[in-house]
Amino acid sequence: MFFTPAASKRAVAGWLVALVIGLSVLGAFLHCSDNVISRNRYAGTVPYGSSFWLPWHHQQFRILQISDPQVESVWDKCKDVDSIHHCGTHNTSRFISRAISFTNPDFVVVTGDLVFGPRSPVSAFQAVLLPLDRSSVPYATIFGNHDVQRCSKWDEHESAAHLRQRSTLHGTSKLMVGNGQLCVWMIDYSHTYAGWVNPAHLAWIRNDSSCRNAGASLAFTHFPVALLRSNIVGSLNEPIDWPRAPSELLQTLHLLPSLKVVGFGHDHTNTACGTTPDGLTGCYAGSAGYTTYGDRNVPRQARVYDIYKNYRVFTFRVLDGQSLQSTEYHELQ
């Protein structure tokens, strides 16, 4: 086949365009893949070890756990719902606001995946945090895997700096209630270490002496700490994704005084509480996020923990809908 010079130039230009598009698609896949994370970009550690104190005025201290809002863009449409008409990121913000009003908590913990690698991180974080800021309820945030993935415009340190400015506590940290009768531990996600927890953070928890006489402890992290094998209350609708690499996390949790429960998220459609093979009680919060994956038969939701001064702990789930509903109120043993 004979090509004129003009046709040859057009052919070369076409191939170049195709090559650029192909490389862009490949780059986007590598850039945003959960499994391709630049360790150099996130080398080092963000600050950790902060503490905050709250009084225990009433017989009951209530904690609201919100997990996996996972906002990528404020313009995203809902996923896995009956209808996406007029459904988007604002539904996530609305649910967080309604859940706070409905439960009237003393403290809120957001257990990771606030965002999903956003190109506009300020607006993405705003969608999650503005309802919390407006409520004036003190709250803690920890990272999940999607908060630090490479397709975000901000790196881990920039996101952490933003969250520290707004949250009462961010990252691995501690809330003390009353005279140290209740201690609540937040344990941050860190992809650069086995078990996805920084050993220095665990050492800080183990070396802490202020909570040694606590009558009850609760812990919160993003990933499930182990499989839930028995005493299941709720549903396990997808495989439990837990860090199988050896770490000191379980050992550290077992050392916490009177640990009642470990709250976590990550697996959006799992809603159960249960017991791990080594005897820890763990509870899923479900997902609050409308623009991330879910299940049409599983409402967006959050979890509440009520801790009483006799150190009994009860929990229930808050389900979104035309009106909010509470379900599965039970005591944690």
Q: Are residues 143 and 253 in the same domain?
A: yes
Would you state the pLDDT for residue 31? Answer: 43
Distance CA 170, CA 46 (A): 10
Tell me the pLDDT of the chain averaged across its residues.
Answer: 88
Q: Are residues 23 and 51 in the same domain?
A: no
Distance CA 187, CA 179 (A): 22
- The continuous run of DSSP H or E covering 218 comes out as strand 216-220
Q: Are residues 64 and 184 in the same domain?
A: yes
| Inside any domain, residue 39 | no
142, two tokens? 């920890």
Q: Are residues 50 and 27 in the same domain?
A: no
Would you state the pLDDT for residue 30? Answer: 42
pLDDT digits (tens, 9 = 90+) for 140-158: 999 999 998 766 788 888 9
Would you state the pLDDT for residue 15? Answer: 62
Domain with 207, as residue range(s), is 46-332
Q: Are residues 27 and 77 in the same domain?
A: no
Q: Residue 227 maps to which CATH number?
A: 3.60.21.10
Q: Are residues 173 and 148 in the same domain?
A: yes
pLDDT digits (tens, 9 = 90+) for 159-178: 999 999 999 999 999 999 99
| Inside any domain, residue 190 | yes
| Inside any domain, residue 176 | yes
Q: Are residues 202 and 315 in the same domain?
A: yes
Q: Are residues 242 and 306 in the same domain?
A: yes
Q: What angle do CA 289, 291, 294 make, to 5 degrees?
A: 65
Sign of CA dihedral 69, 70, 76, 81: negative
Residue 94 Cα distances to 102, 115, 288, angstroms: 12, 16, 10
| Inside any domain, residue 41 | no
Would you state the pLDDT for residue 34? Answer: 44
Would you state the pLDDT for residue 26? Answer: 43
All residue ranges of the chain with pLDDT < 50 are 1-3, 17, 19-31, 33-44
Q: Are residues 246 and 196 in the same domain?
A: yes
As a whole number of Å, the CA-based R_g of the chain is 22
| Inside any domain, residue 38 | no
Q: pTM to 2 decimals? A: 0.88
Query: Based on the structure, what is the number of domains in the chain?
Result: 2
Edge-to-edge strand ranges of the sheet holding 313-319: 169-170, 139-142, 107-111, 60-66, 301-308, 313-319, 325-332
Would you state the pLDDT for residue 155? Answer: 86
| Inside any domain, residue 216 | yes
Would you state the pLDDT for residue 40? Answer: 31
Residue 168 Cα distances to 108, 129, 300, angstroms: 10, 12, 25
| Inside any domain, residue 37 | no
- Does residue 69 contact residue 128 with C-beta atoms inside 8 Å? yes
Q: Are residues 235 and 143 in the same domain?
A: yes
Q: Are residues 171 and 68 in the same domain?
A: yes
- Does residue 172 contact residue 222 with C-beta atoms inside 8 Å? no
Q: Are residues 84 and 222 in the same domain?
A: yes
CB atoms within 10 A of CB 165: 8
pLDDT digits (tens, 9 = 90+) for 246-303: 779 999 999 999 999 999 999 999 999 999 999 999 999 999 999 999 999 999 999 9
